């Protein structure tokens, strides 16, 4: 019977079970054996990671033809104006790639996000603001490149959801198990986030 795990990947952890170049890996978090990440998060990004031993599901998620919305909170330098946000929404050129239209807005009110270890660098003379950005692509470091292209570098990036699966209040470094029936590709993200703890499952470390 395949297993499905939602994990809150902390900053500085690789999306793999083998340590590399001194970096932390998934091996230290007590995850069940035989699971693989369905997609990746960069070492310096945080948030939702789906792990499973369901090979066909992984292939479906990673196939670029099966676009799955992914929502991120991005802490960026300075406050983007309406024109900058519209550039994100309309799609823009990053390197040799034209991004597809996306959703992007300033979070109001600003969320209370737990401090990162190590903390984000802060410049007292430069304000920062959390954006919510939903994309349907998975290019390498895409959200960071997009915000940089409009002149607002990303200081911190947290993936909040993949399709209808949401991070919710799962603490960093902990995980919970869900059922296959909880994964509803193609359904709207908003208001359908899977955050329940099925059966007697608890957050685990």
Catalytic residue ranges: 42
CB 74 within 8 A of CB 143: yes
Which strand (E) or helix (H) includes residue 87? helix 82-90
Give residues with Cβ within 8 angstroms of 19, minimum separation 6.
25, 27
Compute the distance between CA of residue 137 and CA of residue 140 in angstroms, rounded to an integer: 10
Helix (H, G, I), strand (E, B) or coil at 67: coil
CA-closest candidate to residue 135, choices 168, 100, 109, 179: 100
């Amino acid at each position: 019977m395949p297993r499905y795990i939602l994990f809150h990947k902390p900053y500085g952890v690789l999306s793999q079970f083998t340590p590399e170049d001194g970096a932390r890996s998934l091996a230290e978090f007590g995850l069940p054996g035989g699971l693989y990440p369905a997609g990746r998060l960069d070492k310096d990004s945080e948030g939702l990671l789906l792990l499973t031993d369901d090979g066909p599901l992984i292939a479906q998620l990673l196939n670029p033809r099966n676009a799955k919305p992914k929502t991120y909170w991005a802490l960026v330098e300075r406050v983007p104006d309406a024109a900058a946000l519209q550039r994100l929404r309309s799609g823009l050129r990053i390197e040799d790639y034209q991004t597809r239209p996306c959703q992007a807005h300033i979070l109001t009110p600003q969320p209370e996000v737990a401090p990162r270890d190590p903390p984000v660098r802060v410049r007292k003379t430069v304000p920062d603001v959390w954006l919510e950005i939903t994309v349907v692509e998975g290019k390498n470091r895409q959200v960071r490149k997009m915000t940089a292209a409009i002149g607002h570098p990303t200081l911190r990036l947290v993936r909040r959801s993949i399709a209808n699966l949401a991070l919710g209040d799962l603490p960093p470094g902990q995980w919970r198990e869900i059922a296959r029936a909880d994964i509803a590709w193609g359904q709207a993200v908003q208001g359908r986030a899977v955050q329940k703890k099925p059966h007697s499952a608890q957050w685990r470390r």
